[in-house]
Amino acid sequence: MTLRVVQWTTGNVGRRAASAILDHPGLDLVGCYAWSPDKVGVDIGTLVGAEPVGVLATNDAEELLALAPDCVSYNPMWPDVDEMCWILGAGVNVVSTAAFITGRALGAEARSRLEVAARAGDVSLFGTGVNPGFLNLFGLVSAGICDRVDRLRVLESVDATGYASAETQLSVGFAHDPDDPATAERTERASAVFGDAVALTADALGVELDHIGFEAEYARATETMDLGFMTIPAGTVAGISGTWFGVDQRDRHIVECCYQWKMGWAMEPDWPLRHGYFVEIDGRPKVRSRFQILPPDDWDEPDYMGLGMIMTALPAVSAIPAVCAASPGIVSYTDLPLVTASGFVTP
């Protein structure tokens, strides 16, 4: 059976999601939502850099729901709870990369509305990405060999210079004054979805948390850096090392979800990046795993940022069949069967 999918926006992640949906034999891309006026009326194939496929992007959301899709692949810059509730309430499943893992970060009221809407529509809502998202699953799977877990830590340590989403980068604190308390609040607010990942991990490990917290350190630019899509003025934030942690009843940081992002080439302190995604479990055994991301031999793009976007989009796209088959409501990795690259194996 082919599942009918609508792609919601075609930015960095959405373009990769749409390409993957077009390639998947079990998915049929039937519509596309455009937030940008200049994308309205443009063929989705053209928007993703492929041949036209006869599906034009529209900003008429009602027109898209009238297509009776099975699922929306939701990749806007910011999640819109009203919009998500409306889609779910209309009986359309949603897979999202837009700051959604459990809904905790959106607040109890918004989370409850989403849960009610999904149940009313008899559909499911699933959020993922690479981090948060797949990396947390990788951490949980890695812990499956331990007979004792003292701490499960995951870390993304990457150069984000090529991630050309200025609004996203500004929202997490880049190019802001590191000494301004409002910057720390901004970073915490914009990365709150990593707190969802802490909650999900603790829940999957059967740990009751006392609380979830956050701390961040900044690196400041030592010169003004023009990245093309944004400028980082000298003295402002050019690096962020953030840790979302879950504290258990014994006052231990039992779960940590960390990110280390740098933008540009001149900053202090100049933390050495580890370039990848890491799972570090203190326990028995101690586990140290890294998934190493390399371009395939036929990669022909000028840089490797696209790999990160594929890795963000695919955990959501690959989950579409499982999400469409899941029980109604908000679902997470603990509710879904094993999600693989089924449909993407080269013929």
Ligand X SMILES: NC(=O)c1ccc[n+]([C@@H]2O[C@H](COP(=O)([O-])OP(=O)(O)OC[C@H]3O[C@@H](n4cnc5c(N)ncnc54)[C@H](OP(=O)(O)O)[C@@H]3O)[C@@H](O)[C@H]2O)c1
Closer to ligand X by Cβ: residue 15 or 176:
15
Look up residue 179 and give its two tokens.
């000494």
**Min CB(129)–ligand X separation in Å:** 2
**Min CB(163)–ligand X separation in Å:** 7
**Min CB(132)–ligand X separation in Å:** 5
Distance CA 4, CA 30 (A): 6
Distance CA 200, CA 137 (A): 9
Closer to ligand X by Cβ: residue 14 or 69:
14
**Min CB(268)–ligand X separation in Å:** 26
Closer to ligand X by Cβ: residue 16 or 24:
16
Please calculate the CA angle 170-173-176 and round it to the nearest 5 degrees.
85
> Residue 189's Cα: distance from chain center in Å?
15
Distance CA 330, CA 196 (A): 13
Positive or negative, the CA dihedral 136, 138, 143, 144 is positive
CB 238 within 8 A of CB 267: yes
Closer to ligand X by Cβ: residue 20 or 34:
34
Closer to ligand X by Cβ: residue 167 or 180:
167
**Min CB(327)–ligand X separation in Å:** 23
| Helix residue ranges per DSSP H, the chain | 12-23, 44-47, 61-65, 81-89, 108-121, 135-142, 166-172, 181-190, 193-204, 305-318, 320-325
Site residues, ligand X (CB under 6 A): 9-14, 34-36, 39, 75-78, 97-99, 129-133, 165, 167-168, 312
**Min CB(98)–ligand X separation in Å:** 3
Name the pairing type of β-strands 231-232 and 225-226: antiparallel
CB 14 within 8 A of CB 7: yes
Please calculate the CA angle 328-330-336 and round it to the nearest 5 degrees.
80
**Min CB(93)–ligand X separation in Å:** 18
Closer to ligand X by Cβ: residue 42 or 146:
42
Closer to ligand X by Cβ: residue 45 or 76:
76
